[in-house]
Amino acid sequence: MPLGIDRSHFYEEKVKHIEKSNRVKDERIGSLETENAMLYLKLAQLRGALQHTRQESIEIHEQFEDESRFRKSVAESAFKFKQELDNIKKDMQSVQSAAKEIPKQFNEQVQHANSVVQRHKMAFQSQSSSLSELQERLAHMELTLHDVTDRHAKEKKRRQELHNTLMELRGNIRVHCRVRPLMDFDRGQEDMSSFGRQGAKSEVVVHFVDDENVCVRTTKHNKVFEYERVYDMTETQNGLFDEVQPMLTSLLDGYNICIMAYGQTGSGKTHTMLGSHKNEDYCPTREPHPDEGVIPRAARELFRLTSEKQKGTHTVEVSVVEIYNNDIRDLLSHDPNIKHDINTGQDNSISLPTIISKQVDTVYDVMCLVQHGLCTRRESATLVHEHSSRSHLVVTLTVISQAPSFFSKNSVPGDTTPRDSKGRSSSLSSSGSMPSGSMWQSNDFSTNSAGQAVIKTKLQLVDLAGSECVGMSGVKGQALRETANINKSLSALADVLGALAEHRAHVPYRNTRLTHLLQDSIGGDAKLLILLCVAPAQRYITESLQSLGFGARARQVQRGQTKRRLPSSAEKVSLDTPKNSRSISVTGPPPFSQR
């Protein structure tokens, strides 16, 4: 550039140009930065997309692997299935071939079965005729068996009746034996585990054999005793009374009856006669109770029998006495400690004139009086059992019956009552069961206040005190005296039976009050039943053998024919003078006896 030329313009232009170029560049930079930012953004987006794609590819890879594994397992399963299928196919083939065989075999079997059926059919046909024959024979045999069983039962009953009649004719004492169940107190000092076991004191050694036999079996003993009836441990009060009941019918036919429970202490005498209770707890009931014993049942039967007779012709009186330490005590008296004497009549009839006898109309009345007596009865606890009776209890029911009309004042002279061929009055036989050959006795024939002839018969119900070994009962002092008296009176009873069985001239009735009071029942004309009570345990074996022996001995006594309480000679009854005597003793020969 020439000197002196203004260069500022140039520079200005130059600056402008540079500024313009700078502006262009700045714009260019700006747009490039924008573009760069856009590119960064795009890059970030692409990176994000890449990341997403990577993630997806991982997932796809994993899915692929899963699928590969699945395919592999499917392939494996398919292989297994194929193998199984092959096996099934093979099986199918064998089944098919077997199935092909089945109809063949079935046919063969059917043919075989047919032939068997055919054979059996033939056999059946041949046997059916013999089967019907057999059935006929079986039916016939069943009929015969039934018939034989029936005849056997009838024979047994007839034998029993004949036996009873024979016993009656001979005047035998009937003996029934009751074996009681094993009780807790039978254990004594024994431990629980050995209760009832072999060798233990409580081992059962008295066994029921059948209705008529009982046996004692131990290492030392094997003895069988026979009685009219044996009751096992399960026998109920009702079952026992069923056997006793028929005897009571004779009471209204004019026979005295005595039922006596005998046995060692704790053997079940009170249970049998009254039922199980403590004396002071006895509670009479108006209704029959399944547990009640012979006394309430006998009273019930007596009232049943009298209810069948003409109203007002029978009255019943009750007395309750005990024999304690050989003294007779009236348990219905205000002062039971008063001792009473026995009166022996000219005809050897026994009575207690000073004791109270109360008239009763119902069983309840009877049992209330018995309960009154029981509250006073002596009992105490012994080692054997808690409520041991220390006295003999005698409950007497006296039946006062109006004698049949031909004994009355109007008909006595020149008695025209029809008689049977043996001289018996037909009106008498209507009262029932006079056994052939029975004899009549007049000692209880008397008159009532209206001057009518009456007959007194008595039912004595005796709960004896228990025989016992002093050592076993563990008693001392006063109780020892009681035990000694009990044992003495019971052995006197055995002596009396011994003397009667051996027909000795002297029978020691008067050795004790017990034997004296029971004299006309044991040795006289009463029908006597002894209920032997036996405990089954080994610990009482001595006492049980003694009781069973006592029963066996009693059965041997033959007292002669039982007698009926009726006047022997109506003509001799002085009915015109009733004041003379209330108890008319007649000594002449009986008009209707079989003699």
Interface residues with ligand ATP (CB under 6 A) are 180-181, 183, 263, 265-271, 276, 385, 387-389, 465-466, 533
Give 336's contacts (C-beta < 8 A, 6+ positions apart).
Answer: 329, 330, 376
What CA–CA distance (Å, rounded) separates 35 from 28? 10
We find the least distance from the C-beta atom of residue 259 to ligand ATP, in angstroms, to be: 15
Cβ closer to ligand ATP: 442 or 467? 467
Minimal distance, residue 277 CB to ligand ATP, in Å: 8
Distance CA 275, CA 295 (A): 9
Q: What are phi and psi of 483, to 5 degrees?
A: -60, -40
Residues in the chain: 595
Structure tokens given for 433: 């069961």
471 appears as a binding residue in the annotation: no
Q: Which is nearer to ligand ATP, 374 or 400 (CB)?
A: 374
408 is in an annotated binding site: no
- Flag whether 267 is marked binding: yes
As measured in angstroms, the least distance from the Cβ of 385 to ligand ATP is 5
Q: Answer for the pair 398, 461: CB distance below 8 angstroms, yes or no.
A: no
Query: Nearer Cβ to ligand ATP, position 293 or 591?
Result: 293
Task: Find out whether 451 is annotated in a ligand binding site.
Answer: no
Phi, psi (degrees; rounded to nearest 5) at 253: -90, 0
What end-to-end distance do the CA atoms of the chain give, in Å? 210
CB closer to ligand ATP, 389 vs 396: 389
Q: Which residues pair with 392 in a beta bridge?
A: 323
80 carries a ligand binding annotation: no
Residue placing its CB nearer to ligand ATP in the complex, 388 or 442: 388
Which SS3 state, helix, strand or coil, does residue 355 take?
coil
Give Cα separations from 30 to 17, 22, 201, 286, 460 (angstroms).
19, 12, 131, 135, 152
Inter-CA distances, 299 with 177, 178, 255, 292, 317, Å: 22, 21, 16, 11, 11
CB of 466 to ligand ATP, least distance (A): 3
Q: How far is the CB of 313 from ligand ATP (least distance, A)?
A: 36
- Cα 491 from Cα 500, distance rounded (Å): 14
Q: Which is nearer to ligand ATP, 391 or 441 (CB)?
A: 391
Q: Report the C-alpha gap between 489 and 261 in whole angstroms.
A: 14
Whole-angstrom Cα distance, residue 179 to residue 544?
10
Query: Is the distance from CB of 384 to CB of 542 less than 8 angstroms?
Result: no
Closer of 97 and 234 to ligand ATP (Cβ)? 234
Nearer to ligand ATP, 171 or 275 (CB): 275
Min dist. Cβ of residue 435 to ligand ATP (A): 32
Record the tokens describing residue 515, joined without a space.
Answer: 């034997």
With beta carbons less than 8 A apart as the criterion, state whether 445 and 584 touch. Answer: yes
Extract the tokens encoding 142: 């069943």
Token pair belonging to 443: 């000692």
Nearer to ligand ATP, 167 or 183 (CB): 183
Closer to ligand ATP by Cβ: residue 60 or 381: 381
* Amino acid symbol at 348: N
Q: Tell me the closest approach of the beta carbon of residue 134 to ligand ATP, in angstroms.
A: 49
Are residues 321 and 352 in contact, defined by beta-carbon separation less than 8 angstroms? yes
338 bridge partner residues = none
In angstroms, what is the minimal distance from the CB of 536 to ligand ATP? 10
Nearest to 458 by CA among 410, 527, 403: 527
Collect all residues with Cβ–Cβ distance below 8 Å to 234 and sequence separation of at least 6.
181
Establish whether 269 is an annotated binding residue: yes
Q: How far is the CB of 386 from ligand ATP (least distance, A)?
A: 8
Q: How far is the CB of 266 from ligand ATP (least distance, A)?
A: 5
Rounded Cα distance between 547 and 212, Å, is: 16
Please give the structure tokens belonging to residue 43: 């890059």
CA atoms of 20 and 567, how far apart (whole Å): 184
- Between 478 and 581, whose beta carbon lies closer to ligand ATP? 478
Only one residue has tokens 């009570």, namely 533
Strands 527-534 and 388-389: unpaired
Q: How far is the CB of 382 from ligand ATP (least distance, A)?
A: 7
Query: 307: which 2 tokens?
Result: 């209810």
Cite the annotated binding site for ATP by residue number: 263-270
Binding positions: 263-270
